[in-house]
């Protein structure tokens, strides 16, 4: 294994993860999403891959759904809802945590990061061998200049969030279990409600998530719903700067 992707597989003593999760930590130059996607079948469900960085909270989790890929892809929304709720637990009062469909996350309108999702090629009507949800949140801004000069980006430290990457990962793991439990107990509608509640309101528009994960927009006075396809939207993360490998500034 190349040095830049060296892996330490252990449970960090200062991380309080719920039962069922196994932690794999990568060195600072690692890529949690790439590592999880490349090794998901061997890592197995519940594996959390975590990159130890001070400026970013970067992690990925492996899932093994029992339903067909065409509907299991909705697990992306469970991951996003869990990440949004995790951020809320660390946020100061009155902070607005919003999603920009499907994958970007903002704090008071400043981009902090988002989610990514991967699945293996195969039959849409068969359960996939694995799914990977990954999150990346900017905790400290390394950009030069005052934060006010970058109104379209934000970092948790500047916004007064408590704790750091470790606390965010712990909270995400707990909230992901809550989302999965709600899905199993009450159906996907509860997960959809949590996700959709974080989209910026649009007057005269009702939003729903279709069985295959597509976003449906029903505008007042129109009978035909607009469809935004999830699978194609996830192909290129809207929030990721390919030049830096981090959230856009």
Mean pLDDT of the 38-63 span? 96
Distances (CA, A) of 223 to 7, 203, 210, 230: 53, 17, 16, 22
Instruction: Determine the pLDDT at residue 166.
Output: 95
| Each residue's pLDDT tens digit, 100-145 | 999 999 999 999 999 999 999 999 999 999 999 999 999 998 875 5
Instruction: Determine the pLDDT at residue 148.
Output: 54
Pairing of strands 22-26, 47-51: parallel
Share of the chain above pLDDT 90, in %: 83
Identify the sign of the CA torsion 11, 12, 17, 21: negative
Check whether 34 has a pLDDT greater than 60.
yes
In this structure, the dihedral spanned by the alpha carbons of residues 185, 188, 191 and 195, taken in order and rounded to 10 degrees, is: -170
* CB-based contact 174:81 (threshold 8 Å): no
Instruction: Determine the pLDDT at residue 4.
Output: 37
Rounded Cα–Cα distance for residues 130 and 249 (Å): 32
Of the listed ranges 71-75, 100-104, 222-226, 237-241, the least confidently predicted one is 222-226
* CB-based contact 132:120 (threshold 8 Å): no
In this structure, the dihedral spanned by the alpha carbons of residues 98, 104, 107 and 109, taken in order and rounded to 10 degrees, is: -80
Instruction: Determine the pLDDT at residue 235.
Output: 96
DSSP string for 78-138: HHHHHHHHHHHHHSPTT--EEEETTTEEEETTEEEEEEEEE--SS-TTS--S-EEEEEEEE
Mean pLDDT across the chain, nearest whole number?
91
């Amino acid at each position: 294994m190349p040095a830049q992707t060296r892996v330490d597989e252990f449970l960090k003593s200062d991380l309080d993860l719920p039962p069922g999760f196994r932690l794999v930590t990568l060195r600072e130059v690692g890529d949690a999403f790439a590592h999880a996607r490349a090794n998901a079948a061997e890592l197995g469900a519940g594996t959390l891959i975590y990159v130890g960085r001070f400026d970013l909270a970067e992690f990925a989790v492996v899932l093994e759904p029992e339903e067909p890929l065409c509907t299991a892809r909705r697990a992306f929304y469970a991951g996003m809802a869990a990440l949004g709720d995790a951020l809320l637990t660390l946020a100061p009062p009155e902070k607005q945590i919003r999603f920009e469909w499907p994958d970007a996350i903002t704090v008071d309108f400043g981009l902090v990061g988002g989610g990514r999702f991967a699945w293996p090629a195969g039959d849409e009507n068969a359960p996939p061998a694995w799914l990977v949800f990954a999150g990346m949140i900017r905790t400290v801004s390394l950009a030069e200049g005052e934060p006010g000069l970058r109104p379209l980006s934000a970092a948790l430290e500047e916004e007064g969030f408590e704790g750091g990457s470790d606390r965010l990962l712990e909270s995400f793991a707990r909230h992901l279990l809550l989302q999965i439990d709600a899905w199993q107990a009450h159906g996907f509608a509860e997960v959809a409600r949590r996700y959709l509640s974080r989209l910026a309101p649009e007057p005269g528009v009702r939003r729903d998530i279709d069985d295959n994960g597509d976003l449906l927009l029903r505008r007042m006075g129109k009978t035909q719903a607009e469809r935004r396809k999830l699978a194609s939207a996830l192909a290129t993360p809207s929030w990721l700067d390919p030049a830096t490998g981090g959230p856009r500034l």
